[in-house]
């Protein structure tokens, strides 16, 4: 197989989880940015959250514009890290459904592989609950596609999450993009509706209220918790910095001692 | 009782756990509130039900295991206070992340929980257990979570929900108005409805709510910037600390070397000491310290799969020290589920049948005393010795988890994909920790 394993940095993993857990009513998706290393290992450094143009169930296709924007982002990351970065894969979520890729997913993956045989697919399955044991579950898998006759089949690719104690700048930026993307989607939809001229005032008020309601949902379900997490993380970091500083001083003293 | 945790807090726990090469634990901060639901039945006009809702706002990760309790599970209040500080009053529970374990509280966890309940004065303290399991080829991983309320005799498990955006359906927008020929209707709604719109014909509420959203997003960006700065500062100091530790270790190593040479010089007619072994163990303890620092992205050795269990068994056990910097998760083998080369199959229950069997059947995967892997049987890192004592109770409390095996079927693609354990694997001894009749118990044919 073209890819022997995928190494996913833990801060990129964090962003994927954030994104996957943001909604249980539809599939979310994004692109993975990283590099292909020797021994056919794909190393994912960060992810980009994408807007879904077609929100039908299990239709996760990336438009050329999005791919292009992602490539630009990859170039930016390449400049920052000094390493060759590019779009190396895609991820999407399967809320309430099995983690295995559907036939559509496998076909979509096969299509991307035609452009880049190292392209990998990740799926995050969440909001699964076993009512009997009250056990919740989150799963993630990595796959590629291989042609078998006229059909495509899934190939399992080992995936490992690589520890990264500090969250990278690019991952943080990706994480805070989510509320912005959601708002943009809402605005675009509203603009189309608003441009319809023949609506009476009551209908217009209704539509305006729907927009307000949806934006409120986004703020309370996404922006709010995101802000809370950022503040908590900041607090934790401040505390860690103090503790690390003390340890550093202690070690310096130990080193200075004969 | 119901419970909720934000997706961001949940992901954060997953993130901290992924960064840890052993078990990971911490405290849950939040609120418990009462929700009253009024229902009307034929029997009575209003039946008010009080629902307790546990809201987990945040988690406070512990930097290492045994930070507030000892090997016997005895709590140290002083350490607890220094970890929690003023967050102590917000603690509503604690959590533990283990790999390849059962969804049950271990004996030590129960003891700790009881003490925490008394010490913190929270009668309904909850315990969130995360267990992580992977397929044999590591292509699929599952994180299971259960919220326990051990203080209650019945209904100990609580459903944990993750509030989210839910339905972002934009189908609620109306694309056409209901046809109405009434002139009165048109006139009234036009006249009074005008209140809602500004001079451009845009609804005022739209502008207002967008302003709220914008302000919020600006704040998110600002705090994000601060977080990013703090991450870089933390990374830098961590790097410095690691370098200093390296230097100190190097100095100690040189001193030990020097001492040894002096001693050897004094023993003129003694045989050469097993130099190589000493050097190897010291070199490996040194190389342990020169692993990539946590601040830099971990670059695991370029092997597609983590080294197999048997490979690592031959290394010395220097990795057992909890003070080692977190090594790449990819380097350390995860005690794999049934069917992987590192583990004996569950015996009569067959091989490659499902990970549930891996949990229920051979409930304590191979964990020889010399294993370098920091997570073993019940997932705790340095537990192996205690488990031999406590393990007896655990085994007795084990439920046969065969009925759970169906839950894990979706982790197994086709049975053919899982490598069939070879005969040599079958000869790997089971640790005594399984119990006096280790093998019989391990096969769990109950």
Is B223 within 8 Å of A234 when comparing Cβ atoms? yes
Contacts of B329 in chain A (CB under 8 A): 160-163
Residues B98 and B231 in one domain: no
Q: Is A237 on the interface with B (CB under 8 A)?
A: yes
The H or E element that residue A243 is part of is helix A224-256
The 10 Å Cβ neighbour count of residue B36 is 8
Last residue of a domain, one of A145, A162, A179: A162
**How many domains, in total, are found in chain A?**
2
Three-point CA angle B348, B353, B358, nearest 5°: 75
pLDDT recorded at residue B243: 94
Is the domain of A52 the same as that of A156? yes
Q: What is the mean pLDDT of residues A192-214?
A: 89
Asked, for residue B113, whether it belongs to a domain, the answer is yes
Q: Average pLDDT of chain A?
A: 91
Mark whether A125 and A173 lie in a shared domain. no
Residue B200 lies in a domain: yes
Which class for B417: exposed (0-12), middle (13-18), buried (19 or more C-beta within 10 A)?
A: middle
Identify which of A7, A193, A237 has the shortest CB distance to residue B234: A237
Q: Is residue B208 assigned to a domain?
A: yes
Residues 86-145 of A with CB under 8 A from B: 98-100, 126-127, 129-130, 133-143
Same domain as B216, residue B133: no
pLDDT score at A128: 94
Assess whether A71 and A183 both reside in one domain.
Answer: no
The residue written with tokens 């790997």 in the block is: B428
Same domain, A179 and A153: no
In a shared domain, residues A47 and A66: yes
* Chain A to chain B Cβ contacts (< 8 Å): 353
Question: Does A255 contact B at CB distance below 8 Å?
Answer: yes
Task: Say whether both B156 and B228 belong to one domain.
Answer: no
Determine whether A98 is exposed, middle or buried from the number of CB atoms within 10 Å of its CB (0-12, 13-18, 19+): middle
Do B134 and B9 reside in the same domain of the chain?
A: yes
Is B334 within the bounds of a domain? no
Do both A122 and A179 map to the same domain?
A: no
Same domain flag for B7 and B153: yes
Supply the angle between the helices B7-19 and A10-20 in degrees, to the nearest 10.
Answer: 160
Q: Are residues B10 and B142 in the same domain?
A: yes
A116 shares a domain with A47: yes
On whether both A137 and A192 belong to a single domain, the answer is no
Check whether residue B124 and residue B225 sit in a common domain. Answer: no
* CATH code where residue B77 lies: 3.40.140.10
Beta carbons within 8 Å of B218's beta carbon, 6+ residues apart: none
Rounded-to-integer distance, Cα B37 and Cα B49, Å? 5
Using CB atoms, which residue from B19, B177, B237 is nearest to A200? B177
Do B75 and B205 have their domain in common?
A: no
**B114/B212 same-domain check:** no
Judged by a CB distance cut-off of 8 A, whether residue A84 touches chain B is no
Contact B304 A4 (CB under 8 A): yes
A91 and A209 belong to one structural domain? no
Name the minimum distance, in Å, from the CA of B70 to any CA of chain A: 22
Nearest to A163 among B18, B177, B194 (CB): B18
Residues A148 and A193 in one domain: no
What pTM did the predictor assign? Answer: 0.74
The answer to whether residue B306 is domain-embedded is: no
Structure-token pair, residue B37: 């639901």
Q: Which domain holds residue A240?
A: 169-256
B153 touches chain A (CB under 8 A): no
Structure tokens at B50: 């009080």
B330 part of contact set with chain A, CB < 8 Å: yes
- Closest by Cβ to B217, choosing from A168, A223, A231: A223
Least-confidence region, from A114-118, A161-165, B367-371: B367-371
Which CA distances in Å does B32 have to A114, B3, B55, B129?
53, 9, 6, 19
The values of phi and psi at residue B133, to 5°, are -145, 150
**pLDDT at site B338:** 36
- Establish if B202 belongs to a structural domain: yes
Does A38 lie at the interface with B, CB-CB under 8 angstroms? Answer: yes
- Examine the domain organization and report whether B20 and B126 are in the same domain: yes
Residue B300 lies in a domain: no
pLDDT tens for A10-25 read 999 999 999 999 999 8
For A36, the closest chain B residue by CA position comes to B302
- Shortest alpha-carbon distance between residue A91 and chain B (Å): 14
Q: Are residues B107 and B202 in the same domain?
A: no
Whether residues A192 and A103 fall in one domain: no
> What does the DSSP 8-state code read for residue A39?
G
Question: What is the pLDDT at residue B23?
Answer: 93
**Domain edge (last residue) among A135, A162, A189:** A162
Q: Do B139 and A157 touch (CB under 8 A)?
A: yes
- In terms of CA atoms, which chain B residue is nearest residue A56? B169
What is residue A33's predicted lDDT score, i.e. its pLDDT? Answer: 94
| Alpha carbons A144 and A114: distance in angstroms, whole number | 11
Mean pLDDT of A159-166: 94
- Per DSSP, A150 falls in state T
Contact with chain A for residue B230, Cβ under 8 A: yes
DSSP-assigned states of every residue in A47-92: EEE---S--STT-----HHHHHHHHHHHHHHHHHHSS--EEEEEEE
- Residue B85 confidence (pLDDT): 87
Domain boundary among B257, B279, B304: B257
Q: Which one of B119, B136, B161 terminates a domain?
A: B161
CATH number at residue A119: 3.40.140.10
Structural domains in chain B (count): 2
As averages over each run of 10 residues, the pLDDT of chain B (446 residues) reads: 93 95 94 81 71 90 90 90 90 95 91 93 93 94 94 85 79 85 90 87 90 96 97 96 94 93 82 51 46 42 44 42 40 41 40 38 39 38 38 39 41 39 38 37 38
Interface list for B 369-388 with A (CB within 8 A): none
pLDDT of residue B254: 93
**Cβ contacts (< 8 Å) between B137 and chain A: which residues?**
156, 158
Q: Of the residues A162, A179, A205, which one is the last residue of a structural domain?
A: A162
| Statement to judge: residues B81 and B216 lie in one domain | no
Whether residue B2 contacts residue B159, with contact meaning beta carbons closer than 8 Å, is answered with: yes
Q: Tell me whether 0.90 is exceeded by the ipTM.
A: yes
Q: Which residues contact B160 (CB under 8 A, 6 or more apart)?
A: A134, A136, B3, B4, B5, B128, B145, B146, B147
CA–CA distance, B309 with B424 (Å, rounded to integer): 13
Confidence band of A249 (pLDDT split at 50, 70, 90)? very high
Cβ distance of B209 and A212 shorter than 8 Å: yes
| Chain B: residue whose CA lies nearest to A186 | B170
pLDDT digits (tens, 9 = 90+) for A61-101: 677 888 888 888 889 888 888 889 999 999 999 999 999 99
**Cα gap B98→B113, rounded to integer Å:** 16
Residues on chain B touching A205 (C-beta within 8 angstroms):
193, 196, 203
Tokens 């910095």 sit on residue: A241
What is the distance between the alpha carbons of residues B327 and B375, in angstroms, rounded to a whole number? 13
Which domain, by its residues, includes B19?
2-161
> A13 with A87, same domain?
yes
Best of A42, A136, A195 to disrupt the B interface by mutation (most B CBs within 10 Å)? A136
| From B10, B147, B231, residue closest to A21, measured CB to CB | B10
């Amino acid at each position: 197989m073209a890819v022997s394993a995928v190494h996913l940095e833990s801060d990129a993993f964090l962003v994927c989880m954030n994104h996957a857990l943001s909604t249980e009513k539809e599939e979310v998706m994004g692109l993975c940015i990283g590099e292909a290393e020797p021994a056919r290992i794909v190393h994912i450094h960060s992810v980009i959250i994408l807007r879904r143009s077609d929100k039908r169930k299990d239709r996760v296709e990336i438009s050329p514009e999005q791919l292009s924007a992602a490539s630009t982002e990859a170039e930016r990351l390449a400049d920052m890290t000094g390493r060759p970065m590019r779009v190396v894969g895609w991820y999407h979520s399967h809320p309430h459904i099995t983690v295995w890729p559907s036939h559509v997913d496998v076909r979509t993956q096969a299509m991307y592989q035609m452009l880049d045989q190292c392209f990998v697919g990740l799926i995050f399955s969440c909001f699964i609950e076993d009512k009997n044991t009250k056990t919740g579950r989150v799963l993630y898998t990595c796959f590629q596609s291989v042609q078998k006759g006229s059909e495509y089949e899934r190939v399992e690719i080992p995936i490992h999450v690589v520890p990264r104690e500090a969250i990278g700048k690019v991952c943080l930026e990706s994480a805070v993009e989510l509320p912005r993307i959601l708002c943009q989607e809402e605005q675009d939809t509203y603009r189309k509706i608003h441009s319809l001229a023949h609506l009476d005032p009551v209908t217009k008020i209704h539509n305006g209220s729907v927009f307000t309601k949806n934006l409120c949902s986004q703020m309370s379900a996404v922006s709010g918790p995101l802000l809370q997490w950022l503040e908590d993380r900041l607090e934790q970091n401040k505390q860690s910095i103090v503790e690390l500083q003390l340890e550093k001083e202690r070690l310096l003293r130990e080193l200075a001692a004969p | 009782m119901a419970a909720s945790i934000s997706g961001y807090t949940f992901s954060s726990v997953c993130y901290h756990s992924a960064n840890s090469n052993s078990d990971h634990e911490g405290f849950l901060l939040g609120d418990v509130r009462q929700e009253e639901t009024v229902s009307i039945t034929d029997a009575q006009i209003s039946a008010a039900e009080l629902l307790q809702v546990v809201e987990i706002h945040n988690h406070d990760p512990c930097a290492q295991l045994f930070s507030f309790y000892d090997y016997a599970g005895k709590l140290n209040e002083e350490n607890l206070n220094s970890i929690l500080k003023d967050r102590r009053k917000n603690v509503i529970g604690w959590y533990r992340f283990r790999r390849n374990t059962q969804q049950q509280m271990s004996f030590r966890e129960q003891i700790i929980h009881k003490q925490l309940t008394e010490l913190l004065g929270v009668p309904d303290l909850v315990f969130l257990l995360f267990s992580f399991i992977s397929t044999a080829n590591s292509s699929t991983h599952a994180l299971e979570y259960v919220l326990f309320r051990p203080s209650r005799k019945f209904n100990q498990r609580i459903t944990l929900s993750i509030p989210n955006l839910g339905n972002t359906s934009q189908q609620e927008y109306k694309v056409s108005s209901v046809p109405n020929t009434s002139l009165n209707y048109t006139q009234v709604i036009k006249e009074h409805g005008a209140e809602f719109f500004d001079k451009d014909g845009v609804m005022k509420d739209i502008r207002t709510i967008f302003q709220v959203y914008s302000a919020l997003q600006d704040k998110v960006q600002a705090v994000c910037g601060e977080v990013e700065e703090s991450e870089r500062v933390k990374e830098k100091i961590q790097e410095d600390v690691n370098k200093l530790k390296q230097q100190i270790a190097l100095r100690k190593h040189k001193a030990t070397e020097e001492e040894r040479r002096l001693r050897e010089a004094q023993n003129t007619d003694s045989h050469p000491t097993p130099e190589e072994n000493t050097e190897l163990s010291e070199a490996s303890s040194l190389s342990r310290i020169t692993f990539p620092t946590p601040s830099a992205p971990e670059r695991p050795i370029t092997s597609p799969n983590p080294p197999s269990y048997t490979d690592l068994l031959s290394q010395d056990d220097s990795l057992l020290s909890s003070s080692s910097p977190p090594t790449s998760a990819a380097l350390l083998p995860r005690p794999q589920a049934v069917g992987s080369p590192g583990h004996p199959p569950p015996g009569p229950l067959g091989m490659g049948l499902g990970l549930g069997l891996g949990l229920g059947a051979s409930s304590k995967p191979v964990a020889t005393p010399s294993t370098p892997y920091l997570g073993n049987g019940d997932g705790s890192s340095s537990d192996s010795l205690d488990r031999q004592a406590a393990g007896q109770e655990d085994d007795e409390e084990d439920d046969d988890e065969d009925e759970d095996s169906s839950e894990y079927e979706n982790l197994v693609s086709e049975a053919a994909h899982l490598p069939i354990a070879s005969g040599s694997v079958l000869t790997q001894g089971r640790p005594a920790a399984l119990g006096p009749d280790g093998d019989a118990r391990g096969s769990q044919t109950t």
